[in-house]
Amino acid sequence: MIDEVRGSVIDALLQMNFDVSDVTGDTILGPAGLDLDSLVFAELSVQLEDTYGVRFRDEEIERLATMTLDELAAEVALRVRPALARGQSD
């Protein structure tokens, strides 16, 4: 799941015209790395929400900027599991 989410994030960044040629799982998404701004994080979170059915609160966006790509992917994967479990019990 983490590899899938990582690929989705990279694809989303490519669609937003970011150079991802040097991006690895250890790349920090915020100011210390790719330097994605809050608008990019907002767009990225919407795409992840639409793709994986997870939700990010507005106040979480700042925390996302401190994460690496793999940390973000792991966070999404953790949120997908409970969402899937809820969907199976419905």
Give the rounded percent of residues in the chain with a pLDDT score beyond 90.
63
* CA atoms 65, 56, 82, 49: torsion sign: negative
CATH hierarchy code of domain 2-74: 1.10.1200
12 token code pair = 């989303």
- Is the confidence at residue 68, as pLDDT, over 70? yes
Q: Which residue has the tokens 């966070």?
A: 75
Residues counted in the chain: 90
* CA atoms 24, 59, 17, 2: torsion sign: positive
Give the rounded percent of residues in the chain with a pLDDT score beyond 70.
90
Q: Are 88 and 52 in contact, with CB atoms under 8 Å apart?
A: no
